[in-house]
Amino acid sequence: MEVILPKYKVNEMLRPKFLKEIELQFRVHPVCALLGPRQVGKTTLARMYAQDREVAYFDLENPLDLARLENPMLTLSKFSKQLVIIDEIQRLSDLFPFIRVLVDADPSRKFLILGSASRDLIQQSSETLAGRIGYIELMPFSLSEVKEQTSLWLRGGFPKAFLASNIEESYLWRQAYISTFLERDIPNLGFQIPPQQMRRFWLMLAHYHGQIFNASELGRSLGVSGHTIRKYLDILAGTFMVRILLPWFENLGKRQIKSPKIYFRDSGILHALLGIRTESDLDHYPSLGAFWEGFALEETIRRYDAESCYFWASQSGAELDLLLLHHGKRLGFEFKFTERPKVTPSMRISLQDLKLDHLYVVIPGDQTFPLTDQITVQGLGYPL
């Protein structure tokens, strides 16, 4: 059954947390990079921040703005008092050396640059603007912002997908997004990969969601080398479509898994790739538990603002879905699509071997209760 969404007013979707983060970055750096997938709301957020400010705006997907920047030093030097916003910076990363010269000459200048690729794909920014640039990652809506767990899981958090009038419009938008991403966005980053080849890889990767990544196995299925498969994966990770969750190692005297796990960062894109339209489709899908695990894992990483996150697994079968190093503590997380989780031998092994400060078993809903002194059941919707 389709969930009826609340009628959000415009001012309820302003995402004030990110507006404050932009302000904070500008107190420290003359350049702030707002990075995230296309259509996640970067331009809208930048315009909200720019309200009541003098602004010079350049959209690098606009041929007229590209023409204005044919002589970047001459053009940008004119805007010493304005906030300069440059949208889709990955299309013209040659601008970074000119920005560096301008902010070194006058640190009061402010540049807000928007990009649809990670800092690893926009390498020039980290190399050229080192010490002058702060990064903010803007991702689709999270549960802390919209409070609608079932709809967020089914539709994903891209604003136009989540806020669509009905599930059919949401699904059609996500299908169009996938096509545009493959046919336009990847080529615009300079990667010459046939869209159908990348679609096949992306679809195959959907079946690895929450599993150990095996480049050789995927390579054999696609008829390409493992090196090519890893290149494809790096592109999807660098454009915020998938998360590569690295393994954690302890000196335990036992064999441990050394390959990463793969998760789709937006559940709605995953569902659209697999043709899952409705809640009923999702309920009957064989990988329902793995899909919810990925959704809950991404939400947990975001709510803790975690930069150091891993999974852990031994060859003997003990494993931990997520390990966060948070404020000097080791927090473990297991994700269970059930209302009545139980303590398992794997949980006890993880607590002992990894010296966890606490282990949380995350389930749907918003309830919380202890299983032991060191293990707590916590609903995904339960506030921190």
The two tokens of residue 20 are 């404050």
pLDDT digits (tens, 9 = 90+) for 98-152: 999 999 999 999 999 999 988 887 777 778 898 999 999 999 999 989 989 999 9
Same domain, 126 and 191: no
Does a structural domain hold residue 174?
yes
Mean per-residue pLDDT of the chain: 91
Same domain, 306 and 346: yes
- Beta strands at 83-87 and 242-245: parallel, antiparallel or unpaired: unpaired
Same domain, 282 and 362: yes
pLDDT digits (tens, 9 = 90+) for 125-138: 778 898 999 999 99
Same domain, 126 and 192: no
Does a structural domain hold residue 338?
yes
**Residue 333: CB partners within 8 Å, gap ≥ 6?**
297, 300, 320, 321, 322, 323, 324, 359, 360, 361, 362
Query: How far from each other are the two terminal CA atoms of the chain, in whole angstroms?
Result: 30
Does a structural domain hold residue 5?
no
3-state secondary structure of 18: helix
Does a structural domain hold residue 51?
yes
pLDDT digits (tens, 9 = 90+) for 345-365: 999 999 999 999 999 999 998
The CATH number for 18's domain is 3.40.50.300
In the prediction, which pLDDT does 254 show?
Answer: 75
3-state secondary structure of 334: strand
Quote the percentage of the chain above a pLDDT of 70: 96
Q: Examine the fold and report which residue of 75, 106, 137 is the final residue of a domain before the chain moves on.
A: 137
pLDDT digits (tens, 9 = 90+) for 280-297: 999 999 889 999 999 999
Same domain, 214 and 343: yes
Does a structural domain hold residue 342?
yes
Residue 41: which domain range? 10-137
Same domain, 96 and 171: no
How many domains, the chain?
2
Q: Examine the fold and report which residue of 137, 170, 194 is the final residue of a domain before the chain moves on.
A: 137
Q: How far apart are CA 258 and CA 155, in angstroms?
A: 33
Same domain, 287 and 356: yes
Same domain, 365 and 284: yes
CA 201-204-210 angle, to 5 degrees, is 120
Does a structural domain hold residue 81?
yes
Give every strand in the sheet of 309-313, ordered side by side.
309-313, 319-326, 329-335, 358-363, 375-379, 368-370
pLDDT digits (tens, 9 = 90+) for 16-52: 889 999 999 999 999 999 999 999 999 999 999 998 8
Same domain, 133 and 147: no
**Residue 236: CB partners within 8 Å, gap ≥ 6?**
202, 205, 242
Same domain, 279 and 207: yes
Which parts of 165-214 fold into alpha helices (H)? 167-180, 186-188, 195-206
Same domain, 31 and 65: yes
Same domain, 275 and 331: yes
Q: How far apart are CA 349 and CA 351, in angstroms?
A: 5
Does a structural domain hold residue 167?
yes
Closest C-alpha among 96, 89, 72 to residue 34: 89
In the prediction, which pLDDT does 147 show?
Answer: 85
Does residue 311 contact residue 247 with C-beta atoms inside 8 Å? yes
Buried b (16+ CB within 10 A) or exposed e, 155-193: bbbbbbbbbbeebeebbebbeebbeebbeebbeeeebeb
Closest C-alpha among 246, 247, 239, 244 to residue 269: 239
Q: Examine the fold and report which residue of 87, 117, 137 is the final residue of a domain before the chain moves on.
A: 137
Closest C-alpha among 276, 304, 302 to residue 290: 276
Query: What are the two backbone dihedrals, phi and then psi, of residue 370, each rounded to the nearest 5 degrees?
Result: -80, 145
Q: How far apart are CA 222 and CA 351, in angstroms?
A: 40
Does a structural domain hold residue 186?
yes
